[in-house]
């Protein structure tokens, strides 16, 4: 069974966190001479002279209403990348512990592991991009602290089977991270409602994809309140700017706009898929549960370079194992997709 205290690194478990001025006094009104801010104002027309809410309570309130979880089950990071890095730092002893990933998958897991000097164990997806959950469980050893799954997976675009993930959550007594950056585009349900069922579950969401806010750098981790407490304890005190919090709050009030984006992107995705399937050099367009298509071609890097000369930029995945000769295409606007297809029609 998962035991949080035994899973944490000792230095993190016993860490006494920094207490900021805004932690020690939480009122909104008064003469604030506690944080060495500039009381005169900012060197801009709008005012940014006060430190932001370190625990983003207004944002969390809106997120908990939208996603149906408790505020104390939410961590807000400076992009999902911050949450991934903090998870490594909470649970993995550098040079000793390891993490299992299931490539081909998102490259940041490996980079974050390398930054933190954590060993990686790779269990490759099957040729049809499904997960071999038994192989994942067999790969676990005494120093395996975390299994990171990505569903829908980047760059393959497919969701990982719910029963496979649940088997891992049940049988593995360490942290299981499910990166759901693309969940808005998938028919599958999020694992969020299962937080109370699995104390070792961490779900990652982001504002960078469906919400259209990649520039803000806002990622979310959902987990038990005990895990969230630890993430908050080790994050930089003011990790989310006040401006980002304000804009995220505005977006959360407009979630209908996000739903409309998703609707349009799904229509465009199917449209683009059928257009690409007509091209002679396209061998296969993989089914997608995300806002991109993985496309197997006769010569990935040659097509990639041809498109660069036409100022259309795709992601070349042709050298990635299991994705040989594949290009990853983000679904764009109708105009962008038509332009891509018409340029591809002239490829020889
Ligand atoms: C795009 C993406 C993210 C988002 O990362 P941010 O740091 O929140 O922008 C997370 N995970 C995967 C798999 C992604 O493809």
Q: Which among 202, 209, 217, 294 is the best mutation to test ligand 1's pocket, defined by most ligand atoms within 8 Å of the CB? A: 209
Q: What pLDDT is attached to residue 136?
A: 98
Q: Are the CB atoms for 206 and 218 separated by under 8 Å?
A: yes
Closest CA to 320 of 287, 296, 289: 296
Block means of pLDDT (10 residues each) for the chain, length 348 residues?
96 92 83 94 97 96 97 98 97 98 98 98 98 98 98 98 98 98 97 98 98 98 98 96 98 98 98 98 98 98 97 97 98 98 95
Output the CA 219–ligand 1 centroid distance in Å.
8
Output the CA 287–ligand 1 centroid distance in Å.
20
Q: What CA–CA distance (Å, rounded) separates 251 from 98?
A: 37
Which tokens hold the place of 78?
A: 């400076």
Closest CA to 75 of 66, 65, 64: 64
Q: Which atom of ligand 1 is nearest to the CA of 77?
A: 8
Q: What pLDDT is attached to residue 28?
A: 83
Ligand 1 is surrounded, with C-beta below 6 A, by 79-81, 106, 150, 154, 179, 181, 206, 208-209, 214, 219
Q: Which amino acid residue places its CA nearest to atom 15 of ligand 1? A: 154
Q: Which among 81, 105, 206 is the best mutation to test ligand 1's pocket, defined by most ligand atoms within 8 Å of the CB? A: 206
Sequence-ordered list of residues with C-beta below 8 angstroms from that of 262, at least 6 positions apart, any chain: 184, 185, 210
């Amino acid at each position: 069974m998962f035991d949080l205290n035994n899973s944490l690194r000792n230095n993190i478990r016993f860490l006494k966190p920094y207490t900021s001025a805004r932690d020690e006094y939480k009122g909104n009104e008064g003469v604030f001479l506690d944080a060495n801010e500039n009381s005169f104002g900012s060197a801009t027309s709008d005012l940014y002279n006060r430190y932001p809410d370190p625990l983003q309570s207004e944002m969390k309130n809106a997120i908990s209403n939208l996603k149906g979880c408790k505020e104390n089950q939410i961590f807000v990071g400076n992009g999902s990348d911050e949450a991934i890095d903090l998870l490594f730092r909470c649970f993995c002893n550098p040079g000793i512990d390891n993490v299992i990933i299931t490539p081909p998958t998102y490259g940041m897991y490996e980079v974050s592991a390398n930054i933190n000097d954590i060993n990686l164990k790779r269990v490759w997806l099957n040729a049809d991009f499904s997960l071999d959950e038994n192989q994942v469980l067999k790969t676990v050893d005494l120093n395996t602290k975390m299994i990171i799954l990505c569903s829908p997976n980047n760059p393959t675009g497919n969701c990982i089977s719910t029963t496979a993930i649940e088997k891992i959550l049940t049988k593995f007594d360490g942290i299981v991270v499910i990166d759901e950056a693309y969940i808005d585009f998938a028919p599958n349900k999020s694992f969020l409602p299962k937080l109370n069922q699995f104390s070792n579950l961490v779900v990652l969401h982001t504002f960078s994809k469906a919400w259209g806010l990649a520039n803000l750098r806002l990622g979310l981790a959902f987990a038990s309140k005990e895990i969230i407490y630890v993430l908050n304890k080790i994050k930089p005190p003011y990790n989310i700017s006040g401006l980002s919090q304000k804009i995220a709050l505005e977006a959360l009030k407009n979630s209908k706009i996000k739903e409309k984006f998703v609707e349009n992107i799904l229509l465009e995705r199917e449209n683009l898929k059928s257009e690409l399937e007509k091209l002679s050099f396209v061998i296969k367009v993989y089914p997608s549960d995300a806002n991109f298509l993985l496309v197997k071609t006769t010569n990935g890097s040659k097509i990639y370079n041809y498109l660069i000369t036409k100022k259309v930029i795709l992601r070349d995945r042709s050298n990635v194992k299991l994705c040989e000769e594949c290009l990853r295409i983000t679904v764009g606007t109708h105009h962008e997709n038509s332009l891509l297809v018409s340029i591809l029609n002239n490829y020889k």
